[in-house]
Chains A and B, each alone.
Chain A
Amino acid sequence: MTLLKKIAETQVWRSIFRHGYPSTPRNRALAALSNVFLHLHPVKARKSGIRLSFTWCMGGITFFLFLLETITGVLLMFYYRPTIEYAYNDIIALREHVPLGIMRELHRWGAHMMVLAVWLHMLRVFLTGSYKPPREFNWNIGVILLLLTLLLSFTGYLLPWDQLAIWAITVGSNMARAHPVIGHEGPGASLLAVGDVSLVTPASDIRFGLLAGRFVGAAALLRFYVLHCVALPLAAGLLMAIHFWRVRKDGGISGPM
C-alpha cells in the first residue's frame, strides 16, 4: 500500500494523472474530465439511460468492434500484399506459418458481428424513439455510418482473393452496371451520347469506375484495398467523432423528458 502510495506521489505519475484515486466524487469527476478517452463521456449520466436493458450496449459494442477491426487489420497489413500474385498466398501463409495466428479469424468474425451490432444498435435507437428531436441529425450520421460499415465489409470481402471473394464482389458490383443513366445496362444508358457514339459503355460506366476495369481484377483489388484500409476507416473515424460528440451535445443518451 505504501509502495503504491509512493508511486502515486512521484512526479512521473502526477504528470500523467492529475487527480487522486477515483474513490471520491471529486476525483471520479476528474477521472472522466481529465482523460481524453473517458472524456467521450459526460461526468454524469442519466441512471435510466445507462441501464444495459435500455441501450443493450450496442453502440459501445460497435465501437469496440471497430477498434478490434483496426488493431487486427493493422497487424494483417504487415503480412498482406494487395496484388493478384501475392494476395491469396499471403492469406494461406498466415495460416501455415504463423503459430496460433488468429488475427484473420478475429478480423473476419469481428466484421460479421459489427454489421449485426450496427443493425441492433439502430433497432434500439428506433424503438426508443431516440431519433426524435433533438437527435434527428445524429440519426442521419448513424445511417451514413451504417453504409460505411457495409462498404468496409464489402471492400474487405475481396482481399483474400479466393473464389468466394471475387464472385461475391462480381455479383455485388454487377448491380452498378444497371445504374440508371450512368450504368451501361441501366435505363437511360443511351441518353448520354454524342451523335451515335454512346458515352456509357462497359469501359466507361459507373461499374468501371468502381472496379477500375471491366472485370474484378488487379486494379479492383488495389482499389478495394486502399478503400478498405485507408479511405473508409478515416471517413468512419471522422463520422464517429461527430456521432459521439453529438450524443453529448444533444443531451446524452435519450430518456423521457
Chain B
Amino acid sequence: MAAFESFFNSFASPSLVIIISIGVFLLYFFRMRMMMQPRVSFAIMALTALFLVVGSQNHDFFKIITKGDNMPIVIMIFAILFFLWLAFRQATLNDMRLEQGLPPNEAESSNKKVLVWPDLVYPEFVMTVALSAAFIIWGVMVEAPIEEPASGTRAPNPAKAPWYFLGLQEMLVYFDPWLAGVVLPGMIVVGLMAIPYIDTNPKGNGYYTLKERPFAIFMFMFGFLILWVVLVIMGTFLRGPNWNFFGPFEYWDPHKVEALVNVNLSEYFWVSWLDMRLPDNPLQRELPGIVLILIYLLIVPAILARTVLKKFFHQLGFARFSILVVLLLMMASLPIKMFLRWTINLKYLVGIPEWFFNI
C-alpha cells in the first residue's frame, strides 16, 4: 500500500499530470481503433475503478472521493470514459464502413420512420422512472452537505469555486483574473457559438465519424478533455490548502511551503540579458512582452495561413479563418503559458500591475 501510494504521489505535479493527460489523449486519438475495442476501453474503466477502490484504503483519499459534492466528479470520470467509448466506437466502425464505400451505420435506418408512440415515448417513460428511482435512492443514502454557518471573516482554506468552475480557478495559477476569469471564459462561450459558422466541412452531419472531420474533433476534444475536464479533476482532488498541489495520497498540509520563484519576462530581458536596470516607463519596460504578444496575435496567424493551415485559409476565406485562428490561439495560450511557467518560471509576459494589465 505504501509503495502504491508513493508511486502515485510521485506524479504529483501539475506539469506531470497535464503532460501525461496530453500523452494519453494523443494515444487515444492516433490509436483510436485499438483504444476503442471494447476490451481495451472497459479494461481502462476497470483499472480506474480499481485505483479508486485500492486508493480508498487511504483514509484521506476515501474521504475526498466520497464527499457528497465530489461524487459528481467521480461519476463524471466514468461517464466520460464510457461515453467516449460509445461515441468513438461508433465512429471507428462508421469510418471502416466509409472506407469500403458503404454509408454510415446510421444511414441504414435513417429513412425508416417509426411512430414515436410507442418507440420513443416508452423508452422516455422507462428512463424517467429509472432516473427517479436512482435519485431517490441516492437522496436517501447520502445527505446533502451543509457546513458551518456563513462567516464573512473566516475564509476556509482552500476556498474553492463550484466544481464545474474549477477549470477556471486552475487557470488563475497561470493567468490573472481578468484573463482567467473574464476574457478566456468569454472566449470559450464565443468559440462554442462560432463553431457552426467556422466549421464549413459538410461531412459528418448526423452520424459518428472521426476520419471525415479529424481537425474539428481533435480541437474540440483537446479543449474539452484536457483544458476543462482534467483541470476540473485536478482542482477537485489534487488542489489543497493555498491552492497548493498535493498527490492523491498526500496529507493536505496547510503549512506546505512552496517557493515563489516566478520571474517576469521584463526582468529576464532587461536585468538578466541586457544587464540593465528596469526602465521606469511601464510601456518601455514591458516592450519585449508586448512585441511577443503582437507577433502571437498578428504574425502567427499570417504564417499559419501560409503553412500548416493553408488548406483552411482557402476553404474558409479571410473572415472565418481569422476567427478560427484567434480562437485556436486563445485556446493554445493556456498550455503555452503553463509550459513557460514550468520551464523558465515565467510569471508574466507583460506585467503592468499599475494598470492591472498582466498577461
Per-position binary interface string of chain A over residues 166-203, scored 1 when its CB falls under 8 Å from any chain B CB and 0 otherwise: 11101110111111100101111110000000000000
**Contact indicator B196/A28 (Cβ below 8 Å):** no
Rounded to whole Å, the gap between the CB of B118 and the closest CB of chain A is 7
Residue A232 at the B interface, CB < 8 A? Answer: no
Residue B202 at the A interface, CB < 8 A? Answer: yes
**B106, B119, B169, B209: the one within 8 Å of A255 (CB):** B106
Q: Which of A1-9, A35-43, A223-231, A239-247 contacts B (4 or more CB under 8 A)?
A: A35-43
**B127, B144, B159, B196: the one within 8 Å of A108 (CB):** B144
Q: Which residue on A lies nearest to B207, using beta carbons? A: A256
| CA of A51 to CA of B135, assembled, Å | 24
B104 surroundings in chain A (CB, below 8 A): 256
Residue A140 at the B interface, CB < 8 A? Answer: yes
**A46, A109, A179: the one within 8 Å of B112 (CB):** A46
Rounded to whole Å, the gap between the CB of A227 and the closest CB of chain B is 15
Residue A126 at the B interface, CB < 8 A? Answer: yes
Interchain Cβ contacts within 8 Å, total number: 282
**Contact indicator B146/A187 (Cβ below 8 Å):** no
Q: What band does the interface of chain B fall in when counting residues whose beta carbon is under 8 Å from A?
A: 35 or more
Residue A113 at the B interface, CB < 8 A? Answer: yes
Residue B160 at the A interface, CB < 8 A? Answer: yes
Rounded to whole Å, the gap between the CB of A239 and the closest CB of chain B is 14
Q: Which residue on B lies nearest to A191, using beta carbons? A: B355
**B140, B181, B206: the one within 8 Å of A130 (CB):** B206
**A28, A157, A186: the one within 8 Å of B178 (CB):** A186
B202 surroundings in chain A (CB, below 8 A): 132-133
**B162, B177, B197: the one within 8 Å of A136 (CB):** B197
A46 surroundings in chain B (CB, below 8 A): 109-113
A140 surroundings in chain B (CB, below 8 A): 193, 196
**Contact indicator B193/A143 (Cβ below 8 Å):** yes
Residue A238 at the B interface, CB < 8 A? Answer: no
**Contact indicator A127/B196 (Cβ below 8 Å):** no
- Residue of A113, A122, A136 with most chain B CB atoms under a 10 A cut-off: A113
Which residues of B pack against A, CB within 8 Å? 68-69, 71-72, 75-76, 79-80, 83, 86-88, 90-91, 103-121, 123-124, 127-128, 131-132, 135-136, 138-140, 142-152, 154-156, 159-165, 168-169, 176-178, 180-183, 189, 192-193, 195-197, 199, 201-209, 213, 217, 220, 224, 355-357
Which residues of A pack against B, CB within 8 Å? 22, 25, 28-29, 31-32, 38, 41-50, 52-54, 56-57, 60-61, 64, 68, 84, 88, 91-92, 95, 100, 102, 104-110, 112-113, 115-116, 119-120, 122-124, 126-133, 135-136, 139-140, 143, 146-147, 150, 153-154, 157, 160-168, 170-172, 174-180, 183, 185-190, 215-217, 254-257
**CB-defined A-B contacts under 8 Å, sample of 19:** A32-B116, A42-B116, A50-B119, A68-B135, A91-B146, A106-B135, A116-B75, A116-B76, A126-B217, A127-B87, A130-B206, A131-B196, A162-B149, A164-B69, A168-B162, A170-B159, A172-B165, A183-B178, A256-B103
